[in-house]
Structure 1
Amino acid sequence: MISIDDVRAAAKNITGIAVRTPLLPAWTIGPDLWLKPESLQPVGAFKVRGAVHALMSLPEEARAAGVITHSSGNHGQALAYAGRIVGSPVVVVMPEGAPTVKLEATRALGAEIIEVPPAERESRTAELAAERGLTIIPPYDHRDIIAGQGTVGLEIAEDLPEVEVVLVPVGGGGLASGVATAVKALIPNAAVIGVEPALAGDAADSLAQGELRPWSTEDRYRTVADGLRTSLSELTFTHLRERLDGIVTVSEEEILTTVALLARSTRLVAEPSGAVTTAAYLHHRDELPPGRTVAVVGGGNIDPALLAGLLIAEELDTPPAGAGRVAG
């Protein structure tokens, strides 16, 4: 597993490229809540941290030859952004049905986009890497990616050393693995709690059973939180089993209403994947430890039409369109 030294090395690598996001008091939501708005990153999500560190850690010849990844959008954008900075060609294999806003943003950054059925994204990535001599930089199953994402936890510990609870989204587990590594090393008594959609709750299932229990692509793709539809890997499961203090799941309606609440109450645009932690704070307080809490808002790359619909639904006090539906 990675260590706090790995996270500190990543912090040096990403300085001047990734934004050191602030902690924002969210007292309109809760008196003991702060938000870590990774939506303010250059690509709108925390993924830039791991992508930059992983790319910068490659040998020069590998960077020049090019890299490839599979992504629903945020990691692809992040890698494209990093590749543009260092002059490395980037190919992104995206699942059919990925949000248009993410696909277009990734292409605008200069990446070559290849769309495939969701279940084929990893196999097609491996095929293309072998055919073209590209280095694979996966979205979460990689030590450098985990270390880069861990810089979120490093900053939280530095900016609020009295923090008692850190809520972090869980999809493939790279962010939660890195944040838990940093926070538990620097503030051992703080609780790090993962949050994932109930409709993609493979991490909660795996941790409860004590073994990796992957869910089918069809099951995971029911959630509107497209950035959290990936399954844990052996590497991330090992980190979470050892360093996470717990995990809670949130419903589709809880996620979507929280997106609207964040926009109105805190002026933050959060995508569904980024809103899950605040949703847990709002709707599952009885499952969380008490105390000063930081919720990591993982990203803000939301379809404008979805955001507009959620804000209108909140104004009219009607259930959010899409709650409980099959998404993507």
Structure 2
Amino acid sequence: MKADGGNGNGRAGSYRFRDCKHDGCTEIFPEYSGREHRRKNRMLEFAPNTYMLEYQDGAYLCNGTKRVEAPLNLETLEEAVRQCPKLQQVSLDDAPFGDECFPILARIPKLSMLALLRGRQIAGHGLELLKDLPLKDLFLQRTALDDEGLAQAAQIVKLENIYIAACHHVTPEGLLAISWRDKLQVSDTDRHDDEGLAGLFTEAERKAYEDARAYKIMKNRISLDGPELQGPVHALQEFFDDMNRWERTAEQKGRGNQADIDELFARRVSRASRPGWRPVHLSWKKGGTYTDYHLVVGERVTKSKFWIYAEEGIFYYRYLMRLVGDKWMIDNAQWCREGRWSFCGL
């Protein structure tokens, strides 16, 4: 409100009060504008059982059904988070705000999926605030995500998938810097358009990243042509050749010969068979599983045990060779998935 004072002749004038709402007094009393925003936000009614919140066509969408007409901004997002304690999935495409949204999103204790596609002001500086949330899937395609934002995303403990197609501020060096992070799939392509199909990284840049993940645990690296590896390498290569021959024969006949593979494993493999080894689950690949494998490097475990590493494109394997009597035999087999080694069959 505003009071108009004296009439200029020294006498007390009459006072009239203007309605600030209609006379535009928010410029004189800016706190009125803030109160008005809060009042309007209190009028928004989000479904308290909302687990999935989206923004489409000028409205928030709760669980794909209830529409809440409101602009997409930080104030309405904060109100939605306040009213929806069961939120798990949030999708806010084309958001007009930037990284200041992350302190708000950090208040969603059950957040498992977050999509901020085409948020042109979002660089990811603040993603570290989400590190302790159960967030598994993060969609940031076509945002302003940069190397620092990617590094912060990698700190999110439960994160399994991050999508960064057309995020051109992310560099190969930024990707390499998060090679320490296991169990994380980084997708730099999508099928939305040619820009997404092109991807962010060359084949060589992607290979450098996968190499760093696969070999980061190595301690006692040895060249394959070293004298102590001649026996283990020869034994492993013979196993590959024998298996390829067995598989090609199985392919021709339409079935594998159990007796032949039992004899092969008895000669080459030291461990008792278990699920994953061929004597339990017979299978073969056209041309032979190991046709395109090439041995890369060795790692000393003890004088009688060595890991031999092999690659097939961007797939990584390693075989533990153990000296049994006077013979080198395969004692274990592993493959690397998202930076972590685990058992695989032969």
| TM-score for both structures, normalised by structure 2 | 0.19
Q: Which has the higher strand share?
A: 2
Larger Cα-atom Rg = 2
Q: Which has the higher helix share?
A: 1
| TM-score for both structures, normalised by structure 1 | 0.20
